[in-house]
Amino acid sequence: MIKDLMGFVLRAVVVLSGTALATFVLLWHAPGDPAQAIAMARFDALLTEDVIDQVREEAGLNAGFWTAFRAWVGPLLTLDFGRSAVTGRAVWPDLLVAIRYMLPLALAGLAIGLAISLSLAIVAVKRPGGWLDRFAIAIASLGTAIPAYWLGLLLILLFAVHLAWLPAMGARTPEHVILPALTLGLGVAASLTRIIRSGILEARGQSFLPAIRRRGVSSRGIDRDHIAPHAAIPVVTVFGLELAFLLEGVVMVEVIFGRPGLGTFLVTAIHARDFPQVQAVIVLTALMFVTVNLLIDVVYRVIDPRIGARDA
């Protein structure tokens, strides 16, 4: 177990440094003059060569590749993301604000997605092949094909424009989170329903179940102790991918609903060519994913003892 864990951590470090280097290379070689873009964002117009040169000096764009890379990575190890090239403000506090807007949305979306997919899958497997089952599969297929931005617009059209029940844009009140979270949750539910459904069906096919049943274990007990844990394994496996899906969804949903979260932060930073901000978002995302994948690997071993045992 300890050895496995070391392996995971090593892998995480490799992945993180690879991502950091790739990000830096990409930004370094991005076409266009970043100094000019930054100067435009800062001073709007009336640019002279002097101003651009001054900005270039300030932003450290004169240095060589490795000097610049070291200057960026060094503070990064202490979670210091530097200062925004456009506003000159420290990146981290602004990023924290963005995360604070993103988290409730992501968590609510995940909760809605889990609730819908669980209930849909459980209803579906009551009678595999029945009309409810086929209905659930059809909904799930349709759900994976509907892009979040279209679904979001449709929900705005229905709930904000026609019915006028919920606010569409912004993030002022808790009510503002409902529509974005619903958009996100429906997408998550669509991809999870199939996995949970097939997980349960597969768990039911385990060869030892009839024996346990004949020993007099109640069907509720079987569901709880033998079906649920087994069906949870594939769900945990895809959770990393699901998180990626969630984050992609967050980017789109925040832009549609005008929420000032991490996605909006990223898109704005890219448009302004604010490299420190873009770098910060990417590194943070990679860090998040590596951590979650690490946790998944551990949880995996806890819920499925066979995995650790097989290696040992």
- Is 14 a residue that touches another protein (CB under 8 A)? yes
- φ and ψ at 258, to 5 degrees? 60, 40
User: Looking at 45-53, 111-119, 153-161, 176-184, which segment touches another protein (CB under 8 A)?
Assistant: 153-161
- Is 85 a residue that touches another protein (CB under 8 A)? no
Nearer to another protein, 1 or 14 (CB): 14
Six token digits for residue 196: 């949970």
Q: What is the 3-state secondary structure (H, E, C) of 71-104?
A: HHHHHHCCCCCCECCCCCCEHHHHHHHHHHHHHH
Residues 274-296 as b/e (b if ≥16 CB within 10 A, e otherwise) read bbbbbbbbbbbebbebbeebbeb
Measured distance CA(84)–CA(275) in Å, rounded: 8
Nearer to another protein, 227 or 284 (CB): 284
Measured distance CA(253)–CA(259) in Å, rounded: 8
- Is 91 a residue that touches another protein (CB under 8 A)? no
User: Looking at 71-79, 85-93, 141-149, 201-209, which segment touches another protein (CB under 8 A)?
Assistant: 141-149
Residues 18-47 contacting another protein, CB under 8 A = 18-19, 22-23, 26-27, 30-32
Among 203, 232, 289, 297, binds another protein (CB under 8 A): 289
Q: Which residue has the tokens 């000159």?
A: 88
Among 103, 244, 298, 302, binds another protein (CB under 8 A): 244
# of chain residues touching another protein (CB under 8 A): 47
User: Across the strands, what pairs with 83?
Assistant: 90
- Is 11 a residue that touches another protein (CB under 8 A)? yes
Among 9, 63, 157, 299, binds another protein (CB under 8 A): 157
Q: What is the 3-state secondary structure (H, E, C) of 210-254?
A: HHHHHCCCCHHHHHHHHHHHHHHHHHHHCHHHHHHHHHHHHHHHH
User: Across the strands, what pairs with 44?
Assistant: none
> Mask: binding to another protein, 99-138, rule CB under 8 A, as x and -?
----------------------------------------
Could you tell me which of 299, 155, 156, 160 has the C-alpha nearest to residue 233? 299
User: Looking at 89-97, 145-153, 205-213, 223-231, which segment touches another protein (CB under 8 A)?
Assistant: 145-153
- Is 298 a residue that touches another protein (CB under 8 A)? no
**Burial of 212: CB neighbours in 10 Å, binned 0-12, 13-18, 19+:** middle
- Is 233 a residue that touches another protein (CB under 8 A)? no
Nearer to another protein, 85 or 251 (CB): 251
Residues that bind another protein (CB under 8 A): 11, 14-15, 18-19, 22-23, 26-27, 30-32, 141-142, 144-147, 149-150, 153-154, 156-157, 161, 240-241, 244-245, 247-248, 251-252, 255-256, 266-267, 270-271, 273, 278, 282, 285-286, 289-290, 293
